[in-house]
Amino acid sequence: MKREVIFRGWSPIKGMWLYGTGVHQGPERTYIVNGSGLLDEVEPETVGEWTGLHSNIGRKIFEGDVVALFLVRMSFPGVVKFDEKSSAFCAWFGKKWIPLNIYDKFEILGNIFEDEDMKKKYWEIYQK
């Protein structure tokens, strides 16, 4: 089953997340290709792809989101990104990257681009 490919990036000009079907990386600027095929400028480090998964309340989970995984009355927070080694969207849950598609109970706690505390805690891990 194919999933819809959606990207998002933060626009400092508009002060909001912008969503689209592609990303264009120019020599000095990065753009999200919006639904009309037009380019909207975004901050390059904030660009992330939708994982194809939803949170427990139906929100789309993107790279850079910090999610909590719920297992047997315990929750584990982790930052989401695409892991090239496993070719899957994964979250760092303390010791290693774990593919998200094997679980289905996530809550989005925030993301590393809007929340300074989360950025301090997860930025180095996200860059691995």
pLDDT tens digits, one per residue of 69-98: 877 677 788 999 998 888 899 998 877 888
Instruction: Report how far Cα 126 is from the mean position of its chain's Cα atoms.
Output: 10
Query: Can you give the pLDDT at residue 11?
Result: 95
Q: What is the pLDDT of residue 75?
A: 76
Full set of structural domains in the chain with CATH: 1-46 (no CATH), 52-128 (2.30.30.290)
Q: Cα(71)–Cα(73) distance, rounded to whole angstroms?
A: 6
Q: Name the helix (H) or strand (E) containing 126.
A: helix 116-126
Dihedral sign for Cα atoms in the order 16, 19, 25, 26: negative
What's the confidence (pLDDT) of residue 1? 54
Mean pLDDT, 10 residues at a time, over the chain (128 residues)? 85 94 91 91 95 92 92 80 89 85 86 92 87
| Structural element, H or E, at residue 121 | helix 116-126
pTM for the full predicted model = 0.87
Gap between the Cα atoms of 6 and 17, Å rounded: 12
CA 113 to CA 14: how far, in whole Å?
15
Confidence at residue 102, expressed as pLDDT on a 0 to 100 scale: 84
